Structure 1
Amino acid sequence: MGWTVSEHSFEPGRITANGNKYMAGNGYLGFRGVLEEFGKEQLAAVTLAGVYDRSGSQWREPVNAPNGLYTVVSANGCKLSVLETEPLAHTQSLDFRSAINRRETMFGIPGGGRVTLTAERFASMDQHHLLAASWTLHCTADCRIEITTGIDGAVWDINGPHLLEQQSRSAGGALLSTAVTGELGLPVAVAELTVFGLAEQGELADAVIVLDRGTALRHFSIDAKVGETYTWWKYAAVYTGLDTQGDPAKGSPDERAVQTVQAAAATGYASLLEAHRLKWEERWSRSDCVIEGDEEAQLALRYSIYQLLIIAPVQSERVSIPARGLSGQVYKGAVFWDTEMFMLPFFLHSDPGIARNLMMYRIQTLDGARQKAAEYGYLGAFYAWESQDSGDDACTLFNVNDVFTGRPMRTYFRDKQIHISADVVHGLWQYILFTGDDSILADGGAEVIWECARFFYYYAYYNPVKQRYELLDVTGPDEYHERVNNNAFTSALVQETLKIALQTAERLQDKYPAAYTVLAESFADGPFLDEFTAMLAQLYVPQPDPETLVIEQFDRYLKLEDVPLTELKQRVIHPNEYWGGGNGLATTTRILKQADVVLMLHLFRDRYSREVKQANWEFYEPRTEHGSSLSSCIYALAAADIGLPDWGYPYFMRTATIDLTGESKQYVGDLYIGGTHPAANGGAWMAAVLGYAGLSFDGETARLQPALPQGWSAVELPVVLRGSSFRLRIGREEITVTAAAGNSEAVSFVGFGGETVLCPPGAILELAFQSNQRGA
Structure 2
Amino acid sequence: MNQEYIKADVWSIIEEGYDQETVKSSESLFSLGNGAMGQRANFEERYTGPTFQGSYIAGVYYPDKTRVGWWKNGYPEYFAKVLNAPNWIGIDVLINNEPLDLFTCSSVTDFRRELNMKEGWYKRKFKATLPNSIKVQVEITRFLSLDLNELGAIDYNITLLDQDAEVTFIPYLDSGITNEDSNWDDKFWNTTAVDSKGSRAYIEAHTMKTNFKTCTFMHAELYHAGKKLNVAPGLSKKDTWVGHTYTQKVKQGEPISLHKFGGYTVSRYHKTGSLVEAADSVLDQALELGFDVLLEKQKKAWASIWQMSDITIDGDIKAQQGIRFNIFQLNQTYLGTDSRLNIGPKGFTGEKYGGSTYWDTEAYCIPFYMATKDQKVARNLLKYRYAHLEKAIENARKLGFKNGAALYPMVTMNGEECHNEWEITFEEIHRNGAIAFAIFNYYRFTGDYSYIPEMGLEVLIGIARFWYQRANYSEAKNKYVILGVTGPNEYENNVNNNWYTNYLAKWCIEYTLEQLQKVKDGYPDDYQRIIGHTQLTSNETDKWKGVAKNMYFPYSEKYGVYLQQDGFLDKELITVEHLDKLDRPINQKWSWDRILRSPYIKQADVLQCFYFFEDHFPLEDLQKHFDFYEPFTVHESSLSPCVHSIQAAKLDRMDQAYRFYLRTSRLDLDDYNKEVEEGLHITSMAGTWMSIVEGFGGLRVIDDKLSFTPRIPKNWKSYSFKINFRNRILKVTVTATDTLFNLEGREQMSIRLNGKRLELNPNEEISA
TM-score normalised by length of structure 2: 0.91
Mapped to 2, the partners of 1:576 and 1:37 lie a distance apart of: 37
Q: 1:384 aligns with which of 387, 406, 409?
A: 409
Name the aligned partner's letter for residue 416 of structure 2.
Answer: D
Is the 1:346–1:686 contact (alpha carbons within 8 Å) kept by the matching residues of 2? Answer: yes
1:77 aligns with 2:97: yes
Q: 1:750 aligns with which of 752, 757, 763?
A: 752
Is the 1:480–1:579 contact (alpha carbons within 8 Å) kept by the matching residues of 2? Answer: no
Q: 1:540 aligns with which of 533, 552, 563?
A: 552
Number of residue pairs matched by the alignment: 738
Is the 1:194–1:233 contact (alpha carbons within 8 Å) kept by the matching residues of 2? Answer: yes
Q: Alpha carbons of 1:693 and 1:566: their partners in 2 closer, same or farther (altered >3 Å)? A: closer
2:523 is aligned to 512
Aligned CA RMSD, in angstroms, stands at 2.5
Mapped to 2, the partners of 1:486 and 1:449 lie a distance apart of: 22
Shift of residue 295, structure 1, vs aligned partner: 1.6
Is the 2:225–2:255 contact (alpha carbons within 8 Å) kept by the matching residues of 1? Answer: no
**DSSP 3-state at the match of 1:353:** helix
What CA deviation, in whole Å up to 9, does each residue of 1:607-627 have, x standing for no partner? 223322222222222211222
Higher deviation after alignment, 754-763 or 295-304: 754-763
**DSSP 3-state at the match of 1:479:** coil
Q: 2:656 aligns with which of 627, 647, 655?
A: 647
**DSSP 3-state at the match of 2:59:** strand
Is the 1:133–1:235 contact (alpha carbons within 8 Å) kept by the matching residues of 2? Answer: yes
What CA deviation, in whole Å up to 9, does each residue of 1:725-752 have, x standing for no partner? 1111122222222221245xx5431112
Is the 1:38–1:44 contact (alpha carbons within 8 Å) kept by the matching residues of 2? Answer: no
What CA deviation, in whole Å up to 9, does each residue of 1:453-487 have, x standing for no partner? 11101111123454432222211001111121221
Mapped to 2, the partners of 1:578 and 1:257 lie a distance apart of: 49
1:375 aligns with 2:398: yes
1:428 aligns with 2:442: no
Is the 1:436–1:699 contact (alpha carbons within 8 Å) kept by the matching residues of 2? Answer: no
Name the aligned partner's letter for residue 523 of structure 1.
Answer: T
Q: Alpha carbons of 1:197 and 1:624: their partners in 2 closer, same or farther (altered >3 Å)? A: same
Shift of residue 563, structure 1, vs aligned partner: 2.9
Shift of residue 124, structure 1, vs aligned partner: 0.8
Shift of residue 313, structure 1, vs aligned partner: 4.1
Q: 1:721 aligns with which of 720, 725, 744?
A: 725
Mapped to 2, the partners of 1:426 and 1:606 lie a distance apart of: 14
Percent identity between matched residues is 25
Q: Alpha carbons of 1:443 and 1:39: their partners in 2 closer, same or farther (altered >3 Å)? A: farther
Name the aligned partner's letter for residue 654 of structure 1.
Answer: R
Q: 2:115 aligns with which of 88, 94, 100?
A: 94
**DSSP 3-state at the match of 2:147:** coil
Name the aligned partner's letter for residue 501 of structure 2.
Answer: T
Q: 2:166 aligns with which of 116, 137, 144?
A: 144
Is the 1:655–1:681 contact (alpha carbons within 8 Å) kept by the matching residues of 2? Answer: yes
2:742 is aligned to 738
TM-score normalised by length of structure 1: 0.90
Shift of residue 698, structure 1, vs aligned partner: 3.7
1:27 is aligned to 35
**DSSP 3-state at the match of 1:69:** coil
Q: 2:59 aligns with which of 25, 35, 50?
A: 50
2:240 is aligned to 214
Mapped to 2, the partners of 1:356 and 1:562 lie a distance apart of: 43
Q: 1:687 aligns with which of 675, 691, 694?
A: 691
Mapped to 1, the partners of 2:447 and 2:588 lie a distance apart of: 47
1:531 is aligned to 543
Mapped to 2, the partners of 1:592 and 1:617 lie a distance apart of: 13
1:771 is aligned to none
2:188 is aligned to 162
Q: 2:457 aligns with which of 434, 442, 446?
A: 446
1:192 is aligned to 218
1:262 aligns with 2:270: no
Shift of residue 567, structure 1, vs aligned partner: 5.7
2:320 is aligned to 298
Name the aligned partner's letter for residue 259 of structure 2.
Answer: W
Is the 1:488–1:541 contact (alpha carbons within 8 Å) kept by the matching residues of 2? Answer: yes
Q: 2:364 aligns with which of 334, 339, 342?
A: 342
Is the 1:693–1:715 contact (alpha carbons within 8 Å) kept by the matching residues of 2? Answer: no
**DSSP 3-state at the match of 1:167:** strand
Shift of residue 372, structure 1, vs aligned partner: 1.1
Shift of residue 631, structure 1, vs aligned partner: 1.1
Which structure has the higher relative contact order (CA within 8 Å, separation 6+)?
A: 2
What CA deviation, in whole Å up to 9, does each residue of 1:546-599 have, x standing for no partner? 66333211112011122343666589699865858xx52121221122111122
Name the aligned partner's letter for residue 312 of structure 2.
Answer: V
2:566 is aligned to 555
Mapped to 2, the partners of 1:504 and 1:367 lie a distance apart of: 20
2:71 is aligned to none
Mapped to 2, the partners of 1:495 and 1:541 lie a distance apart of: 10
Q: Alpha carbons of 1:647 and 1:568: their partners in 2 closer, same or farther (altered >3 Å)? A: closer
Q: Alpha carbons of 1:336 and 1:271: their partners in 2 closer, same or farther (altered >3 Å)? A: same
Mapped to 2, the partners of 1:391 and 1:202 lie a distance apart of: 50
Name the aligned partner's letter for residue 64 of structure 1.
Answer: N
Mapped to 2, the partners of 1:491 and 1:385 lie a distance apart of: 18
Is the 1:311–1:321 contact (alpha carbons within 8 Å) kept by the matching residues of 2? Answer: yes
| Unaligned 5+ runs, structure 1 | 400-410, 668-672, 768-776
Mapped to 1, the partners of 2:341 and 2:62 lie a distance apart of: 15
Mapped to 2, the partners of 1:257 and 1:739 lie a distance apart of: 44
2:417 is aligned to 393
Name the aligned partner's letter for residue 12 of structure 2.
Answer: T
Mapped to 1, the partners of 2:585 and 2:546 lie a distance apart of: 49
Q: Alpha carbons of 1:644 and 1:514: their partners in 2 closer, same or farther (altered >3 Å)? A: same
1:416 is aligned to 427
Mapped to 1, the partners of 2:509 and 2:47 lie a distance apart of: 51
Higher deviation after alignment, 292-301 or 158-167: 158-167
Q: Alpha carbons of 1:504 and 1:133: their partners in 2 closer, same or farther (altered >3 Å)? A: same
Mapped to 1, the partners of 2:314 and 2:686 lie a distance apart of: 20
Name the aligned partner's letter for residue 664 of structure 2.
Answer: T
Mapped to 2, the partners of 1:186 and 1:277 lie a distance apart of: 32
Shift of residue 677, structure 1, vs aligned partner: 0.2
2:3 is aligned to none
Shift of residue 760, structure 1, vs aligned partner: 5.1
Mapped to 2, the partners of 1:46 and 1:732 lie a distance apart of: 45
Mapped to 2, the partners of 1:365 and 1:37 lie a distance apart of: 42
Mapped to 1, the partners of 2:690 and 2:622 lie a distance apart of: 18
Mapped to 2, the partners of 1:724 and 1:339 lie a distance apart of: 24
